Amino acid sequence: MNLLLTVTLVLYFIGVVDSILYFAFRRSLFSTIAMGSVGLGFLTHTTVLAIRASQTGHGPYTNLFEYALFFSWAIILVYLAVEGWYRLKPLGPFVVPIGFVILLSALVLPHEITAPLSNNPFWLTLHRTLSLLGFGALAVTFGVGVMYMIQERQLKSHQMGLFYHRLPSLDILDEINSKSVFFGFLLLTTGFVAGSLWSIQKSGSFFSWDPVKTYPLLIAWLIYATLFVGRFNLGWKGKRPAILGVFGFVAGIVLHWIHIS
């Protein structure tokens, strides 16, 4: 499994480098290599997850190592879906590195198998699966948010640099922001409901109001709730959702870290 994990990392690394090379030089060879290696890496990554699940006998999220394994998988999954749908080659350098770095962190985390949680882990598993898939979508929100902010800056300032020619239109970036926030937030929310149900089963209350366990998640959720409502109820477009999408993901990563550790 460790060998496969290393292979996955190497493939993602090639993907990161070549997608950046494509972005800089726009030679189709680079994007072909980038897409090929990320796609192949995703297959080996999936195999790693499957092997791990067969070893532990449950979904891969009982410790930080498994968290990182699954979270990076979710990011690449959503990235490949968006790339396949929109054919947006410049997206690679803004999303693939996130998945790569998170998977890289798995290497240094302890690998030993923790005993599975005994009391009805169904809701807990669902909570973690959905939340992480939601965060995977929000990683793409982050990526297109960064792209939007750069492109918007160029267009507003009238100073056209290299990025102006290489980044796609604001319109498409805003559309992907909208779609990824929609799905990401819904998954995240469903995940939270599942987490609450698990909490009710475990301790009998809806929220345990543990300041370390609950608040971070609530804050991250509130940021995305603001973005969601702003987008779909108040008609926010463009820069504001882009900034919130970037901010929400950074805050989400930090807060999530506090939550799970």
Partner 1 sequence: MNHNTADVGLRERLHFSPSQIPGALELLQAKYPSVQEKVILSTCNRVEIYASLYDDLEGIHNLKEFFYRFHEIPDGSLENSLYLYELEKAVGHLFRVSSSLDSMLVGEPQILGQVKKAYEVARDHHATGRVLNQLFEKAFSVAKRIRTETGIAENAVSVGYASIELARKIFGTLEGKSIMLIGAGEMIELASRNLLSSGIQTVFVSNRNFARAVELAETLGGNAIRFDNLEYELDRFDIVISSTGAPRPIVKKSIVEKAMQERRNRPMFFIDIAVPRDIEPEVNQIENVYLYDIDDLEKVTESNRREREREGLKAEEIVISEVHRFLSWLDSVEAFPTIAALRDQAEVIRKAELEKTLARWKGLTDEERRSLENLTSSIVNKILHAPTVNLKQQKENNEKFSYLAAIRHLFNLK
Q: Can you read off the two tokens belonging to residue 165?
A: 């020619």
Helices (H), the chain: 2-25, 28-56, 64-86, 92-108, 122-157, 162-166, 170-203, 215-232, 239-260
List the one residue out of 42, 68, 46, 32 whose CA is nearest residue 1: 46
Interface residue with partner 1 among 2, 165, 204, 233 (CB under 8 A) is 165
Q: Could you say whether residue 77 binds partner 1 (CB under 8 A)?
A: no
Stretch that binds partner 1, among 59-67, 71-79, 154-162, 194-202 (CB under 8 A): 154-162
- The reply on whether position 232 binds partner 1 by CB under 8 A is no
Residue among 112, 118, 158, 211 that touches partner 1 (CB under 8 A):
158
Q: Does 213 bind partner 1 (CB under 8 A)?
A: no
CB atoms within 10 A of CB 233: 8
CB of 243 to partner 1, least distance (A): 11
Q: In terms of CB distance, is 45 or 231 closer to partner 1? A: 231
Residues contacting 110, CB < 8 A, separation 6+? 63, 64, 65
Min CB(33)–partner 1 separation in Å = 15
Q: In the bound complex, what is the minimum distance in angstroms from residue 168's beta carbon to partner 1?
A: 8
x/- letters, 123..152, toward partner 1 (CB under 8 A): ----------------------------x-
Binding status of residue 161 toward partner 1 by CB under 8 A: yes
**Residue 36: CB minimum distance to partner 1, A:** 18
State which amino acid sits at residue 2. Answer: N
Of positions 85, 164, 206, 257, contacts partner 1 by CB under 8 A: 164
Q: Which residues contact 95 (CB under 8 A, 6 or more apart)?
A: 75, 79, 139, 140, 142, 143
Residue 224, classified by CB atoms within 10 Å of its CB into exposed (0-12), middle (13-18) or buried (19+), is buried
Binding of partner 1 at residue 178 (CB under 8 A)?
no
224 part of the interface to partner 1, by CB under 8 A: no
Check binding of 26 to partner 1 (CB under 8 A): yes
B/e letters for 102-136, b = 16+ CB within 10 Å, e = fewer, are bbebbeeeeeeeeeeeeeebebbbbbbbbbbbbbb
Interface residues toward partner 1, by CB under 8 A: 25-28, 151, 155-156, 158-162, 164-165, 167-172, 235-240
